[in-house]
Amino acid sequence: MPAASHGDVDLSDSSSNARRRALSQFLAGVEVRAFRIAQTALRHEDDALDAVQDAMLQLARAYSERPAQEWPPLFYRILENRIRDMQRRRTVRNRVMSWLPFRPDPDEEEPDPIAGAASDEPLPVRRLEIDESMAALQQALEALPRRQQQAFMLRTLEGLDVAQTALAMGCSEGSVKTHYFRALQTLRATLGDLHHEP
Amino acid sequence: MSRDLNGTTGFERQLQALLQDSVQRVSGHARSRLNQARHAALAEAVRPGRGNLLRRLTTRGGRRLLWMPAAGAVAAGVLVAVLLWPRAHQPYPAAEASHATVEDLDLLADRDGMGLLQSGDGQFYEWAMAQSDKSPPAGSDGPDKGSGAGRGGDTNSG
């Protein structure tokens, strides 16, 4: 930093640098889990990446000066709003597209050659079992009502407590408990006992 | 993580482990894009002025209320200046109008002129018309001088 090279001690600069580092650590810590949450809700990788990126930008622009302990619920609140916006847009787009005589097939997207490349790593039986369990869980999660899915993902994957989850979802703690309990009930009924614990 | 529901701990643990495993297996492409997004967000956070402006507009409603009237007053001032600017730089019509008004008043107040009109003597007007048809001498301030001399001559002769 230029200030440091001149030997000046700029408290505001050092404070903003510390805050920037803290924000960077926070975002680095949550970004992949947030992506999985968005991916489960949107069922589309690129849309999920866009939603997480928008949430990061919004948090950095508007709330970077807020205390760090407020960031998790704020970030997931923003992310949830973005997910909802995308779902609404998708609904409108699908309605419009359904009226068109010719519409592109979403399955005809060009495949990513890197993602589709065969891996040299052999897939052991164990890996296949875990993948099967995860596929079943993913399908069951996607079938959950949105609020139940949200409560379950924030509590189980992100590890937010009930109060933080309530802040992120914009509802009461009692509602969080209800959504979470119902989500668990549905998942248990759908999946039964998972035989393959990773 | 605290548990507020009994009897589901083992099942929850299994689900949690599966989800964590899926997080670990997120593709490199997605991780790369998330990394880029994080850096873009951090750059946005430290951009000078941007954060302060948005903070004023979003989180401090009171300052926003102070901001908007000032900006509105400046905008209104600029608008008025733009609208009035062309007229402010057109002095001739206004000056001519005021000059003509003064001349009209001068004519109305001129008792000699009214006397000529009332006397029905058209000789002065015929002479004035003839004078205006002639070209004025070069460099002279002729018309006023000539008409004044004529008027004076006629009035004196009359």
Check: CB of residue A165 under 8 Å from CB of residue A154: yes
Q: What's the CA gap between B41 and B47, in Å, rounded?
A: 10
Is B5 in Cβ contact with A57 (below 8 Å)?
A: no
Q: What distance in Å separates the CA atoms of residue A68 and residue A135, rounded to the nearest whole number?
A: 35
Are A58 and A75 contacting, i.e. CB atoms less than 8 angstroms apart?
A: no
**Residue A36 is nearest to which of B23, B45, B55, comparing CB atoms?**
B23
Mean pLDDT score across all residues of chain A? 82
Question: Is pTM, for the whole model, over 0.80?
Answer: no
Of the candidates A172, A140, A171, B79, the residue with the CA atom closest to the CA atom of residue A156: A140
User: Measured between CA atoms, how close is B69 to chain A, in angstroms?
Assistant: 23
CB contact under 8 Å between A57 and B40, yes or no, is yes
Q: Which of B1, B21, B45 sits opposite A60 (nearest CB)?
A: B45
Rounded Cα distance between A63 and A57, Å, is 10
Partner-chain residue, chosen from A32, A115, A133, that has the shortest CB–CB distance to B18: A133
Say if B46 is an interface residue toward chain A (CB within 8 Å): yes
Res B116: pLDDT: 60
Nearest CA in chain A to B31: A32
Q: Which of A49, A61, A177 sits opposite B45 (nearest CB)?
A: A61
Contact (CB, 8 A) for A14 and A53: no
- Cβ–Cβ of A184/B58 closer than 8 Å? no
Distance, in angstroms, between A100 CA and closest chain B CA? 33
* CA-to-CA separations, A163 to A70, A108, A151, B25, B48, in angstroms, rounded: 12, 43, 11, 29, 34
B13-51 tens-digit pLDDT:
889 989 999 999 899 999 999 999 999 999 887 765 554
Over residues A12-48, the pLDDT tens digits come to 567 778 888 899 999 999 999 999 999 999 989 999 9
Task: For B52-110, write each residue's pLDDT tens digit.
Answer: 554 555 444 444 455 567 778 888 888 888 887 766 555 555 555 556 566 666 656 66
Q: Write A45-53 long-range contacts (CB < 8 A, 24+).
A: A45/B30, A47/A86, A47/A90, A49/B30, A49/B33, A49/B34, A49/B37, A50/A82, A50/A86, A51/A79, A51/A82, A51/A83, A51/A86, A52/A79, A52/B34, A52/B37, A53/B33, A53/B34, A53/B37, A53/B40, A53/B41
| DSSP letters spanning A84-150 | HHHHHHHHHHHHHHHHSSS---GGGSPPPHHHHSPPSS---HHHHHHHHHHHHHHHHHHHS-HHHHH
Residues in B closer than 8 angstroms to A111, CB to CB, are: none
The whole-number pLDDT of residue A38 equals 94
Measured CA angle at A98 (ends A95, A102), to 5 deg: 145
Write down the pLDDT at residue A169: 93
pLDDT at residue B155 greater than cutoff 90: no
Interface predicted TM-score (ipTM): 0.75
**B135 close to A (CB below 8 A):** no
Interface membership of B54 toward A (CB under 8 Å): yes
Interchain contact B138–A (C-beta under 8 A): no
Q: pLDDT by residue for chain A (198 residues), tens digit each?
A: 333 344 344 445 677 788 888 999 999 999 999 999 999 999 899 999 999 999 999 999 999 888 998 999 999 999 999 999 998 988 888 777 777 665 555 555 555 655 555 555 546 777 787 888 888 899 999 999 999 999 999 999 998 999 999 999 999 999 999 999 999 999 999 888 665 555
Q: What is the pLDDT of residue A147?
A: 94
- Residue A161: list chain B partners with CB under 8 A: 1-2
